[in-house]
Amino acid sequence: MDIASDTAVGGGGASPPAAGASVDPRVHAASGGSSASARQSSRRSARDSGAPPLPPGFAQFIREIRAAFGARFHLLELEAKRAAWSAAYMLAFGVGAALLGVTAWLILIAGLVYGAVVAGVPWIVAGIVAIALHAVAVFMLVRAMRGMVDNLTFAATRRTLAESSTAHDDSGA
């Protein structure tokens, strides 16, 4: 492969020197060199390494694929950061809402106890009734939670896996 055909195929670069014309390397280096000589040296190193040179269209395709994946990964990174910040804010807002809800509940109960005391009920009785109602609610919630513990064991998945392993063992494999 000579430089003249390489320049014509490559679509650019410096034209090859005329036959018999000598090129002074200092003049060539001072003028910035030619893309043809750069391509020739890269092809020579590719040839020396034993790998065939890539066609120009394929190399461009590879560069575009890399750029596309790079852009996608950058977008993924930005969206992951945005999601992380959103999750952090959601957690903070959730904690704030829970605190405000508990505060509102305490004020409501205190208001009911106060209203019962104003209505003539002794404060100790009103306080014990409020505590008893809360204790009953806690008992019901804990009982409901204990009933859901079996849902955490993945029983159907374990049963399916056990059935498939026994069927696999029975088949002789």
What pLDDT is attached to residue 100?
A: 98
10-residue mean pLDDT profile of the chain (173 residues): values are 43 46 47 50 54 76 89 92 96 98 97 97 97 97 94 87 79 61
* Same domain, residue pair 102 and 45: no
Using DSSP's 3-state secondary structure scheme, residue 30 falls into helix
Q: Is 19 contained in some domain?
A: no
Q: Examine the domain organization and report whether 129 and 151 are in the same domain.
A: yes
Structure tokens at 5: 């055909």
In a domain, 40, yes or no: yes
What pLDDT does 29 receive? 46
CB 40 within 8 A of CB 6: yes
Q: Are residues 63 and 117 in the same domain?
A: yes
Residue 24 tokens, joined: 């002074």
Q: Which of 101, 121, 141 is the last residue of a domain?
A: 121
Decide if 17 is inside a domain: no
The pLDDT value recorded for residue 173 is 55
| Residue 7 sits in the same domain as residue 65 | no
* Ramachandran region, residue 33 (left: φ > 0; alpha: ψ -120 to 50; beta: rest): left
Please check whether residue 18 lies inside any domain of the structure: no
Range of the structural domain that residue 172 is part of: 122-173
Quick check: 73 and 52 in contact, CB under 8 A?
no
Please give the pLDDT value at position 164. 81
- Token representation of residue 28: 């060539």
pLDDT at 4: 44
Q: Which two tokens stand for residue 112?
A: 């009911």
What distance in Å separates the CA atoms of residue 153 and residue 138, rounded to the nearest whole number? 24
pLDDT score recorded for residue 130: 97
Burial, 111: exposed, middle or buried (Cβ in 10 Å; 0-12, 13-18, 19+)? exposed
* b/e per residue 126-137 (b: at least 16 CB within 10 A): beeeeeeeeeee
Residue 106 confidence (pLDDT) = 97
Q: Write down the pLDDT at residue 55.
A: 73
Predicted local confidence at residue 19, as pLDDT: 47
Domain boundary among 97, 121, 145: 121
For the chain, the domain total comes to: 3
The C-alpha atoms of residue 72 and residue 61 are separated, in whole angstroms, by 16
